[in-house]
Structure 1
Amino acid sequence: MFEIVVTLCLMTEPDICRQQLAPGFETSARADCEAVLTGDTIRNRMQMADGLVFRETHCRPMADGLQLTEIADNIFVHLGRIAEADPANLGDVSNIGVIIGETSIAVIDTGGSRAVGEALYRAIRQRSSLPISHVILTHVHPDHIFGASVFAETGAKVDGHPDLHRALLDREQSYLTGFEDLIGRRGFLGTWPVRPETAPQEIDLGGRVLTLNIWPAAHTTTDLTVMDSATGTLFAGDLIFHRHMPALDGSLKGWLRVLELLPDLKPSRIVPGHGGPVLTMEEALMPMRRYLGVLEADTRQALENGERLGEAVNHVGKSETDAWELFDLFNTRNATEAYTELEWE
């Protein structure tokens, strides 16, 4: 299979360039690819961030895609790295799901840069030529959303929590700046945010129905889960972390309540937002409840002792240090969020 790539460069720094996939122009033969190699057609399909210029377009054999593992019938998961985004991983630090129905395909989360989204797109096209009808974003965080533009360009509908659109507008610039700093300008080049719509309660992929559940404030204020009814597979997003330190950006009390409700969905298997990639209900819930319970108990004790925030964050949650990877990156913020929430009960 052949693909078209476009060389994009920064207008102000023309030596900083990246070859960007033009999705939707794949062909089985090079001659067919070259026949559609018209700059205007490709430019009209693709959206571009400000400050970029086209250098050239050309055909080439399709590059390798992300590694996808089939965890149930026609359900695939890509295991993101348990790491902070950096120039080597390009923001490939969260789990991604792909569900193939009889008539179309849904993608669940898309990674932390356009480059990750392109690699995901290639992996899907190497398995199926069905249209990718939906991209479902489980929440607002940048490591889950920045690959979505690849699929939006081919006509996929981008769905999320009813508050996701507003949350992205509020945080968009800081997310773009922050992830460009982590990944580097070259690797992040071409990444731009999409505008999600409110997700429906169900999505029919043809012989396969997905149920989408909207949750109150928990990990974030924009959490959504996806259940495949055919296999009982629950994509939990970052409501469930495994190995990777949980990150609190919504409500501690709300998150604990949501963890009590998840078993009501009766999933056969759970795909967390990080780690796994496949967990039983017990494997998913026990570490999460333990850590969030410690966070709550330690914070309440600090407040009872009259400790100021600066004192409390030095010890709240610290008994969990050895239980999670990336603990030092997230626990201080978690303690701060917990203290701020519980202080005003």
Structure 2
Amino acid sequence: MRLVVCSLFAASFVAHADRLPQQAVDTAEIPEIVISAADADSKPLPYYRIAPDVYFLYANIAEVDGKNRGFNGNAGFVVTDEGVVVIDSLGTPKLGRRLIATVRKVTDKPIRYLILTHNHPDHSYGAVAFRQLPGIKIVGHVGTLEYLGSDNLPASVAFRRRILAADMKGFKGVEPDILVGGEIYSHYDFTLGGKTFAVYNADHHHSFGDLVVHQAEDRILWISDLAFNNRSTFMGDGHSGAALEAIDWLRRTFPDTRLMIPGHGSAQTPPFPMVEKTYSYIKRLRDEMRAAVEAGQDLESAVRLSDFADWHATPLYHENHKKNANFIYREMEQEVYFGK
């Protein structure tokens, strides 16, 4: 695969005080893109061509708010001779419609597949916009069905409707047409326009169920939230032990990968430092919380005392670290007292 030096296809879209990095691969630059509720659904979002036929929407690094309006998780799409494959749908129905408009800016070929890497809002709440497209197949993890029936969904939707009422108009949970599950690390494959897409069941390391997408011919790996770049990780669903196991699997299974595209932050080329950084953070926090449990330290004290000073400058560390410590402490209680 011939990698393309990232080029920005968004100059005409800069209507606010947006800050758009000149490239979206191997960069520490973080975009600051203001999303307006008044923007038309037909207005494309900023995007980058990061490889032949591969386009990437590099989103804000932030919690959802009225400035980014849910554009705080990455998405992308691949154009083939027979149609388009979209990976993730962004965080609101309105953003989903604008993602479709972004595809239309590049090509008039039909969108044949939408792959939802997991059920978190920033990646999946735009899916209802795609459901209206003729002939589309939506691919998701079997755990999506559990999420759609859980208390998490109405609570999350209510929160987003409070701060993004117009953007969330028309939201509905979307059941995938194709469910990927079964044995961990098994995969569902399809070919479109001479390109093969292998969609792997990567367990529930981050959510109710997580997928990794491999483009074999292009040696590109869409890893979603298995590793984070340009920001700290979030452990609030899933399982931290499964995350470490999935990263080990990733390293073993795809040694010839040329480009990794995460769910947050810029894409990376080898040696993929975001993978090691995410792994080391999770392992370090697991070790710390296990030691606290084994020493009889209570949850409140363990979380209060947990502090990784070398992470202080990393975006969203201060918002996420205590939550991560709380979540992993409870996991360690289960492992110490009841085993895996």
Paired residue for 1:214?
201
Question: Could you tell me how far 1:320 is from its partner in structure 2?
Answer: 4.5
Question: Could you tell me how far 1:236 is from its partner in structure 2?
Answer: 0.3
Distance in 1 between residues matched to 2:246 and 2:239, nearest whole Å: 10
- AA matched with 2:45: L
Could you say if the C-alpha distance between residues 173 and 20 of structure 1 is closer, same or farther in structure 2, counting changes exceeding 3 Å? farther
Distance in 1 between residues matched to 2:39 and 2:206, nearest whole Å: 35
Paired residue for 2:6?
none
Alignment of 1:74-85 (within 5 A): 74-85=53-64
Distance in 2 between residues matched to 1:317 and 1:291, nearest whole Å: 12
Could you say if the C-alpha distance between residues 148 and 295 of structure 1 is closer, same or farther in structure 2, counting changes exceeding 3 Å? same
Distance in 2 between residues matched to 1:168 and 1:328, nearest whole Å: 30
Paired residue for 2:9?
none
Please give the per-residue CA displacement for 1:142-194, whole angstroms capped at 9, x wherever unaligned. Answer: 0100111111101322111122122123132112112223x431233233321
- Superposition TM-score, scaled by structure 2 size: 0.80
Count of residue pairs the alignment pairs up: 287
Alpha carbons 1:238, 1:273 under 8 Å: kept: yes
Q: 1:258 aligns with which of 246, 249, 255?
A: 246
Question: Could you tell me how far 1:20 is from its partner in structure 2?
Answer: 7.3
- AA matched with 1:81: N
Paired residue for 1:173?
154
Paired residue for 2:144?
164
Alpha carbons 2:75, 2:87 under 8 Å: kept: yes
Paired residue for 1:285?
275
Paired residue for 1:245?
232
Paired residue for 2:295?
305
> Which stretches in structure 2 are left out of the alignment for 5+ residues?
1-36, 181-186, 336-340
Distance in 1 between residues matched to 2:101 and 2:153, nearest whole Å: 26
RMSD: 1.9
Alpha carbons 2:90, 2:126 under 8 Å: kept: yes
Q: 1:133 aligns with which of 112, 133, 145?
A: 112
- AA matched with 1:193: G
> Which stretches in structure 1 are left out of the alignment for 5+ residues?
1-16, 22-62
- Superposition TM-score, scaled by structure 1 size: 0.78
Question: Could you tell me how far 1:318 is from its partner in structure 2?
Answer: 3.0
Distance in 1 between residues matched to 2:205 and 2:298, nearest whole Å: 24
Distance in 1 between residues matched to 2:317 and 2:334, nearest whole Å: 26
Match of 1:159, SS state, is: strand
Q: 1:119 aligns with which of 82, 98, 101?
A: 98
Question: Could you tell me how far 1:225 is from its partner in structure 2?
Answer: 0.6
Could you say if the C-alpha distance between residues 219 and 296 of structure 1 is closer, same or farther in structure 2, counting changes exceeding 3 Å? same
Alignment of 1:55-94 (within 5 A): 63-94=42-73
Could you say if the C-alpha distance between residues 333 and 167 of structure 1 is closer, same or farther in structure 2, counting changes exceeding 3 Å? same
Q: Percent identity?
A: 26
Distance in 2 between residues matched to 1:317 and 1:282, nearest whole Å: 25
Structure whose CA Rg is larger: 1
